[in-house]
């Protein structure tokens, strides 16, 4: 499908339901009918984002989703980013983001896969999902127009990715202001390696900064295996 989408960039692919959507690594994204799941394909050269800043671009997309989710649930409900690619409501996952750079011939495309639990209720999800995830509907008790949410998301994505080109420090400040892991004890997994420490924030390249007993470590990717909840 990518070669055809490359010719049509920018392209938007929507799905009505996902039971085995691909997340980072071997992770699976589960979304019932009523969720908003889509992939946006953009010309990477137009965006002009250096490859080393791809982790920060992914987090910028997360900020865009966070902005829209907060608009829906209201400012009194905590909506936060969780490195590397989740958006949380009250520390439960409401959205996931996966950004990848793909090349077809000489054309480089940025593919942004985004899933947001909107009108679906997590009461129908697998048991292991219910304990860690939520939706806009489960938070507010109201359904919303998916097309309106999609339009808001696309507008915010454009704004946040433009900000990434023009004001990196502003992006990083916003990320750390809304980062659920900030100053909390966490364990990061990369392959078979586990590293524990205190999260000290996200740096200018989107790397997670971890203070360990032996010094400071930075991670471009990985999985948060455990973290101390604030609730």
Residue spans per domain, the chain = 2-177, 185-227
- Is the link from the previous residue into 10 a cis peptide, with omega within 30 of 0? yes
Long-range contacts of 201-204 (CB under 8 A, 24+ apart): 201/176, 202/59, 202/83, 202/172, 202/175, 202/176, 203/172, 204/56, 204/168, 204/169, 204/172
- Yes or no: say if 198 and 169 are a contact pair by the CB < 8 Å rule: no
**For each of the chain's 231 residues, which pLDDT tens digit applies?**
555 565 667 889 998 765 544 445 445 555 678 999 999 998 888 888 888 889 999 999 999 999 999 999 999 999 999 999 999 999 999 999 999 888 877 778 889 999 999 999 998 778 888 889 999 999 999 999 999 999 999 999 999 999 999 999 999 999 999 999 999 999 999 999 999 999 999 999 999 999 999 999 999 999 999 998 766
Same fold, 2-177 and 185-227: no
Architecture of domain 185-227: Roll (2.30)
Q: Which residues touch 118 (CB under 8 Å, ≥6 apart)? A: 34, 35, 36, 135, 136, 137, 144, 146, 149
Both tokens assigned to 214: 């032996």
Q: What is the total residue count of the chain? A: 231
Secondary-structure class of domain 2-177 per CATH: alpha beta
3-state helix, strand, coil in the chain (%, to 5): 35, 40, 30
């Amino acid at each position: 499908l990518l070669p055809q989408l490359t010719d049509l960039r920018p392209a938007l692919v929507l799905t009505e339901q996902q039971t085995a959507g691909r997340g980072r690594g071997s992770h699976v994204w589960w979304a019932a009918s009523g969720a908003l799941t889509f992939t946006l394909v953009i010309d990477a050269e137009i965006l002009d984002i250096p490859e080393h800043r791809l982790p920060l671009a992914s987090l910028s997309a997360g900020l865009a989703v966070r902005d829209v989710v907060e608009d829906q649930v209201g400012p009194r409900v905590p909506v936060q980013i969780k490195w590397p690619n989740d958006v949380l409501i009250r520390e439960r996952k409401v959205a996931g983001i996966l950004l990848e750079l793909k090349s077809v011939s000489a054309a480089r495309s940025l593919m942004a896969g985004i899933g947001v639990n909107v009108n679906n209720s997590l009461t129908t999800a697998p048991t292991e999902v219910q304990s860690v995830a939520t939706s806009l509907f489960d938070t507010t008790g109201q359904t919303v127009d998916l097309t309106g949410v999609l339009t808001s998301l696309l507008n915010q994505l454009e704004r946040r990715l433009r900000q990434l080109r023009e004001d990196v420090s502003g992006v990083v400040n916003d990320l750390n202001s809304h980062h659920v892991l900030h100053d909390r004890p966490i364990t990061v997994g990369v392959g078979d390696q586990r590293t524990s420490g205190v999260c000290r924030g996200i740096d200018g390249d989107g790397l997670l900064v971890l203070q360990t007993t032996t010094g400071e470590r930075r991670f471009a990717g990985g999985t948060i295996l455990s973290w101390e909840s604030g609730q």
